[in-house]
């Protein structure tokens, strides 16, 4: 009983204590919940406030931007309004001035004056229209003249070719070597020109293609006249032993000047020789007189008596020569000075032996006329004719290019082989595209047809004395066309590239770029250039050690 009572007491004591604990725990839980909810509400409030603040700031910035824009717009509009007002004021002033002027003009001009002003304006317009129509008419007239000039040139070119064909058809071929003639006709092709093939030491004519031009017509010799200038300069001691002019030992020499057809060199030589002596030497070499060929109507040509223009020594101005005269000239300088008389064989009389005729010998020392042979040989080896002829055949020649009788003239006068000349071949062509290099190419084809008849004799006395091994100078070959005679006339307008094909060879030749002239052209009778010393390196041409090739060297 006592025990039970104690338990009851304990329960009574413990139960309130438990109750208090439970209540206390419940209170703590409620407080934590309230605190957490309070925290949540605070955080939510803070986030909302931050968002609202950001929105407000954005709105404020937008308002500020719009306000700045408005202010700018207002400022610009204000400026625009001010400028517009100023412009309006200016226009008003101008219009006011114009109105005032118009009023003044109306006040000043009466009806008569106004009518006169209108008539003057109409007259001015008519004059302008007339000038415009006149300018158009002048333009049309010039175009028509240019067309007519082109047509005349074409007609002239066609006429030259037609005349050549007609003359060849009318040639008398009795006594000619028909095989050589056919080769010459094929080589001439469509060119307007003439060809003479003659035995250099006897004067026997193998063929003359276009006999009318070769016998009864004469042509400007162009740069082939430099052979006469060279002979005169050597005999008058204007050209020294080294090939220079006067006492000059440096500069361009005779061999290279002939090979490249340098105009300035021969003008300086000729001026020192003089025109009267130049004419005398030309006559000694067979120019200005008939050759004596057994054909009718031979012309004597012309020499420039009384003309001292420097171009007579380089371009052949005021000279006129025939192909036969050039054949006699190159034969004389190459066969020991003997001048032959060209003769066409007569079959009925001369069936077996041909009797040659001579016109005497050159009254000159051998070194004076033989001195031009190395330069003639150089023209074929490295000079102006190198693309047209085969230098291994010993061809020695001189090209020529200039304007004569209304067209270009191309010439090539040559002999082969140089150490013992057997044939002389002279080619003259006419036409807008003709040059000496193309004439040389035609002669080259004739020499190809004669190749089997040409034998070189290096044991010849002249060959032993003058022919020495020469190494080809590539730089010289590249520069050989720079001084070609045609460049100082109108080579800038000539871009023609010709291909001459025939026989067994095809020769391709082309014009070269224009170079600066050394001697200016002149129409006066006195030289207009000062003495000039030209430096030229001969070491490459004289001392080269490339492959050996025979070359003529001056004594």
Instruction: Kindly state whether residue 35 falls inside one of the protein's structural domains.
Output: no
Q: How confident is the model at residue 107 (pLDDT cuts 50, 70, 90)?
A: low
Give the three-state DSSP class for 173.
coil
Using alpha carbons, select from 111, 213, 96 the residue that is nearest to residue 166. 213
Note the pLDDT of residue 35.
57
Note the pLDDT of residue 498.
35
Say which range, 308-312, 314-318, 469-473, has the weakest mean pLDDT.
469-473
Q: State yes or no: pLDDT of 536 exceeds 90.
A: no
Angle between helices 275-284 and 226-235 (to 10 degrees): 110
Sign of CA dihedral 523, 524, 526, 529: negative
Number of domains in the chain: 1
Note the pLDDT of residue 348.
65
Note the pLDDT of residue 73.
62
Instruction: Kindly state whether residue 61 falls inside one of the protein's structural domains.
Output: no
Q: How confident is the model at residue 535 (pLDDT cuts 50, 70, 90)?
A: very low
**How far is residue 202's CA from residue 452's CA, in Å, rounded to a whole number?**
19
The mean per-residue pLDDT over the stretch 500-516 comes to 33
Higher pLDDT, 244 or 540: 244
- Within 10 angstroms of residue 153's Cβ, the number of other Cβ atoms is 13
- Within 10 angstroms of residue 17's Cβ, the number of other Cβ atoms is 9
* 262-298 pLDDT, tens digit each: 999 999 999 999 999 999 999 999 999 999 999 999 9
Beta bridge partners of 552: 467
Note the pLDDT of residue 19.
75
Q: Cα separations (Å) of 3 from 7, 8, 9, 380?
A: 6, 9, 10, 161
Q: State yes or no: pLDDT of 105 exceeds 70.
A: no
* 462-496 pLDDT, tens digit each: 666 666 544 334 344 344 433 444 444 333 333 33
Beta bridge partners of 497: 510
**How far is residue 303's CA from residue 278's CA, in Å, rounded to a whole number?**
9
Say which range, 29-38, 51-60, 126-135, 452-461, has the weakest mean pLDDT.
29-38
Take residue 111 and report the two structure tokens written for it. Answer: 């009806």
The mean per-residue pLDDT over the stretch 72-96 comes to 71
Note the pLDDT of residue 164.
95
**How far is residue 87's CA from residue 536's CA, in Å, rounded to a whole number?**
78
Where residue 454 sits, what CATH number does that domain have? 3.40.710.10
Q: Which of 128-132, 145-149, 192-196 has the highest mean pLDDT?
A: 192-196
* 181-240 pLDDT, tens digit each: 999 999 999 999 999 999 999 999 999 999 999 999 999 999 999 999 999 999 999 999
361: phi then psi, degrees, rounded to nearest 5? -120, 160
Q: How confident is the model at residue 546 (pLDDT cuts 50, 70, 90)?
A: very low
**How far is residue 415's CA from residue 335's CA, in Å, rounded to a whole number?**
10
Instruction: Kindly state whether residue 165 falls inside one of the protein's structural domains.
Output: no
Instruction: Kindly state whether residue 398 falls inside one of the protein's structural domains.
Output: yes
Note the pLDDT of residue 45.
56
Q: Cα separations (Å) of 196 from 128, 158, 551?
A: 64, 23, 26
Using alpha carbons, select from 259, 491, 473 the residue that is nearest to residue 385. 259
Note the pLDDT of residue 523.
39
Per-residue three-class SS string for 34-102: HHHHHHHHHHHHHHHHHHHHHHHHHHHHHHHHHHHHHHHHHHHHHHHHHHHHHHHHHHHHHHHHHHHHH
Q: State yes or no: pLDDT of 501 exceeds 70.
A: no
* 424-439 pLDDT, tens digit each: 999 999 999 999 999 9
Q: How confident is the model at residue 102 (pLDDT cuts 50, 70, 90)?
A: low
Instruction: Kindly state whether residue 72 falls inside one of the protein's structural domains.
Output: no
* 515-527 pLDDT, tens digit each: 334 444 443 333 3
- Is the pTM value of this prediction over 0.75? no
Instruction: Kindly state whether residue 393 falls inside one of the protein's structural domains.
Output: yes
Q: Is 20 exposed, middle or buried (0-12, 13-18, 19+ CB in 10 A)?
A: exposed
The 10 Å CB-count burial string (b at 16+, else e) for 279-303 is bebbebbbbbeebbbebeebeebeb
Note the pLDDT of residue 247.
86
Note the pLDDT of residue 336.
87
Higher pLDDT, 80 or 380: 380
* 439-470 pLDDT, tens digit each: 999 999 999 999 999 988 777 766 666 665 44
Note the pLDDT of residue 469.
42
Q: State yes or no: pLDDT of 90 exceeds 80.
A: no
Note the pLDDT of residue 453.
93
**How far is residue 402's CA from residue 447's CA, in Å, rounded to a whole number?**
24
Q: How confident is the model at residue 254 (pLDDT cuts 50, 70, 90)?
A: very high
* 385-422 pLDDT, tens digit each: 999 999 899 999 999 999 998 899 999 999 999 988 99
Q: Return the DSSP state at 434.
A: -
The mean per-residue pLDDT over the stretch 508-513 comes to 34
Instruction: Kindly state whether residue 220 falls inside one of the protein's structural domains.
Output: yes
Beta bridge partners of 470: 549
Q: State yes or no: pLDDT of 550 exceeds 80.
A: no
Instruction: Kindly state whether residue 542 falls inside one of the protein's structural domains.
Output: yes
Take residue 460 and report the two structure tokens written for it. Answer: 């010849």
Structural domain that includes position 494: 176-552
* 356-394 pLDDT, tens digit each: 777 788 889 988 999 999 999 999 999 999 999 998 999
Higher pLDDT, 160 or 554: 160
Note the pLDDT of residue 148.
87
């Amino acid at each position: 009983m006592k025990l039970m009572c104690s338990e009851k007491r304990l329960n009574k004591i413990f139960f309130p204590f438990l109750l208090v604990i439970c209540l206390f725990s419940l209170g703590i839980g409620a407080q934590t919940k309230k605190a957490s909810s309070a925290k949540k509400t605070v955080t939510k409030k803070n986030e909302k406030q931050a968002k609202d603040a950001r929105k407000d700031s954005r709105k404020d910035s937008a308002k500020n931007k719009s306000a700045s824009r408005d202010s700018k717009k207002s400022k610009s509009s204000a400026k625009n309004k001010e400028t517009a007002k100023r412009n309006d004021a200016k226009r008003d002033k101008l219009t006011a001035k114009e109105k005032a002027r118009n009023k003044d003009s109306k006040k000043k001009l009466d009806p008569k004056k106004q009518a006169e002003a209108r008539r003057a304006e109409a007259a001015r317009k008519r004059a302008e229209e007339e000038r415009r129509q006149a300018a158009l008419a002048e333009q049309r007239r010039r175009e028509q003249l240019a067309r007519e000039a082109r047509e005349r040139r074409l007609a002239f070119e066609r006429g030259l070719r037609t005349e050549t064909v007609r003359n060849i058809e009318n040639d008398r071929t009795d006594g000619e070597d028909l095989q050589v003639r056919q080769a010459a006709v094929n080589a001439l092709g469509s060119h307007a020109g003439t060809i003479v093939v003659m035995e250099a030491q006897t004067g026997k004519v193998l063929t003359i293609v276009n006999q009318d031009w070769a016998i009864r017509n004469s042509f400007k010799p162009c740069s082939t006249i430099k052979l006469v200038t060279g002979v005169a300069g050597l005999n008058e001691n204007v050209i020294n032993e080294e090939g220079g002019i006067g006492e000059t030992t440096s500069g361009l020499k005779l061999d290279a000047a002939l090979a490249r057809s340098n105009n300035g060199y021969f003008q300086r030589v000729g001026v020192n020789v003089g025109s009267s002596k130049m004419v005398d030497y030309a006559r000694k070499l067979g120019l200005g007189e008939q050759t004596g060929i057994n054909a009718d109507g031979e012309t004597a040509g012309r020499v420039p008596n009384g003309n001292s223009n420097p171009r007579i020594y380089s371009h052949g101005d005021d000279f006129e020569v025939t192909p036969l005269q050039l054949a006699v000239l190159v034969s004389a300088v190459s066969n020991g000075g003997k001048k032959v008389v060209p003769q066409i064989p007569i079959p009925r009389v001369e069936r077996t032996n041909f009797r040659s005729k001579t016109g005497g010998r050159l009254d000159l020392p051998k070194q004076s006329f033989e001195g031009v042979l190395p330069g003639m040989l150089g023209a074929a080896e490295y000079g102006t004719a190198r693309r047209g002829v085969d230098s291994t055949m010993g061809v020695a020649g001189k090209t020529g290019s200039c304007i004569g009788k209304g067209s270009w003239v191309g010439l090539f006068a040559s002999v082969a082989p140089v150490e013992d000349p057997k044939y002389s071949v002279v080619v003259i062509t006419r036409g807008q595209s003709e040059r000496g290099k193309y004439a040389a190419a035609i002669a080259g084809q004739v020499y190809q047809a004669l190749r089997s008849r040409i034998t070189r004799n290096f044991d010849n006395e002249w060959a032993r004395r003058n022919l020495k091994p020469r190494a080809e100078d590539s730089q010289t070959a590249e520069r050989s066309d720079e001084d070609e005679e045609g460049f100082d006339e109108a080579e800038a307008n000539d871009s023609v590239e010709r291909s001459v094909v025939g026989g067994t060879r095809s020769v391709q030749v082309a014009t070269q770029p224009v170079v600066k002239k050394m001697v200016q052209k002149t129409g006066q009778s006195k030289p207009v250039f000062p003495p000039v010393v030209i430096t030229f390196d001969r070491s490459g041409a004289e001392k080269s050690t490339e492959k050996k090739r025979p070359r003529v060297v001056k004594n």
